[in-house]
Amino acid sequence: MASLLVCIGSSCHLKGSYNVIQTFQQMVEEYDLHDQVEMKAQFCMKRCQQGVSVSLDGVDYDVSPQTAREFFITHILQNRPTP
């Protein structure tokens, strides 16, 4: 199961973390990935100079509301195990 953390600290909130979370939740629903993606919000991830901080299985990324869908496709959909 993929572990997806999204920062909701002050800086990331101002950069659109709420919209990033909404996009990720919508895509989990759209692709029926409830049993493959565990998504959590986390307060300050200490990367305030970047975009919205996202950690996927311990690897940190910077995402924006505009790039959230592309991030999800590239890092989650394309890397999930095939049945």
In a domain, 82, yes or no: no
**Residue 82 binned pLDDT confidence (cut-offs 50, 70, 90):** low
Spatial neighbors of 3 by CB under 8 A, at least 6 apart, are 38, 40, 55, 56, 57, 58
Give yes or no for residue 81 having a pLDDT over 80.
Answer: no
Provide the residue range defining the domain that includes 65. Answer: 2-77
Question: How do beta strands 59-63 and 37-42 pair?
Answer: unpaired
Query: Do the domain assignments include residue 65?
Result: yes
Task: Provide the mean pLDDT of the chain.
Answer: 92
Which amino acid is located at 65 in the chain?
A: P
Per-residue pLDDT tens over the stretch 23-54: 999 999 999 999 999 999 999 888 888 899 99
User: What's 25's domain CATH number?
Assistant: 3.40.30.10
Residue 33 domain flag:
yes
